[in-house]
Chain A
Amino acid sequence: MNIFKFILNILLAIVFLLLMDPRSFYGLSFHEWAGLIIVLFFFLHKFVNWTWIKKVTLSFLRRVPGKARLNYILDILLLIGLTLITLSGIAISRTIDFSWLNLGGSHGFWRVMHTSSSLLVLALFGIHLGLHWRWVLQRLNFKKQKNG
């Protein structure tokens, strides 16, 4: 399971970086489709870590280590950021027709929202990875497993 999580996380990081510039990799069409698909993979990422989410949610207001609490808050911020990226991406999409959704707002507003939220989420992802760096090293066998 850990290997699956690890590969999933690496893929998410690579695709997210490719999505940071719509022109870098096969143009806007790839950007929009991959952007939609990656949302499903983020949900998969949450699903495979559901036990942790459940535990921290249930004991968040009681005795939870500070780091777990920080991770939890960061995850919520990431979720909000990703929701904003997705919504604004849908609103300004050009190769996929989402006009039937009638999200309202001006194109310029959604563009700024898309750019700003994606940049903020990139920073949050960096922080998220930094907080899980020991887990990454454990997967790479650079550090001994915590439980033997």
Chain B
Amino acid sequence: MVKKISIIILVAVVLTTGYLSLRKLNYWNRSVMVFKINSSEQSFQGRGGRGFGEFEGRETGVGRPEFREGMQRPGRMNMPDSLRRRSDGRGQRNFNRMRSGPDSLATGRPLRDTTFSARGDFGERMRGGVPNRGRDFRQGKAVNLNLVIYYLAVFALFTLIMIYLEKGYRLVFKKGNKFQENSDLII
């Protein structure tokens, strides 16, 4: 009895976390994104992958897309003067500082959700004792498994669904199943 209850609880947990992870990762939209590609789409040309929602882990409706690896950041020339002035002499753009500014760009833009960003925001971080000032993650040595756990939950969800589908199939088509059961082709 205890075993059965434990299994039920475990299944419920896997189903719930899997479903929540699917939503958090925007899994379905990003999975079928490749089928929505129109080769004549202008926005694909020369872009760093922006505009098709492939910003991994971004929730829909969470403001502007994050600048992720491979994404092109806004050109300096496209920045409002206030932002450009602020980043002068720093060598790196600091988006946190930009956001706190008084101009329309800073106040009108919703705060980024950094839940799925291993980089988090672009604020200063210490890397090997040296502040990296939001430098690209490619040079990083950090281990941050937050997103991996979401993917693990999705993986577990699909596994669990398949296990129980197979069990259900066995129950329904139990009769005349000898061939299936005894075959050496069934691993």
Residues of A within 8 A of B (CB): 13, 17-18, 20-29, 49, 52, 55-56, 59, 64-68, 71, 92, 94-95, 106-109, 111-113, 115-117, 119-120, 122-123, 125-127, 129-133, 135
- Our pick among B30, B160, B186 for the contact of A67 (Cβ within 8 Å) is B186
* A127 lies within 8 A of B180 (CB): no
How far in angstroms is the closest Cβ of chain B from A82? 15
* B31 lies within 8 A of A106 (CB): no
- Our pick among A21, A22, A106 for the contact of B47 (Cβ within 8 Å) is A106
Which B residue sits closest to A84, measured CB to CB?
B34
Which A residue sits closest to B137, measured CB to CB?
A23
Residues of B within 8 A of A (CB): 27, 30-35, 37, 39, 43-52, 54, 56-57, 69-70, 118-119, 137-148, 151-152, 154-163, 165-166, 179-180, 183-187
* B155 lies within 8 A of A126 (CB): yes
Contacts of B33 in A (CB 8 A): 112, 115-116
Q: What 7 A-B pairs are tightest by C-beta distance, nearest first?
A: A130-B162, A126-B158, A116-B34, A111-B49, A68-B185, A23-B118, A21-B147
Contacts of B159 in A (CB 8 A): 126-127, 129-130, 133
Contacts of B145 in A (CB 8 A): 18, 24-25
- Our pick among B30, B45, B148, B184 for the contact of A18 (Cβ within 8 Å) is B148
How far in angstroms is the closest Cβ of chain A from B57? 8
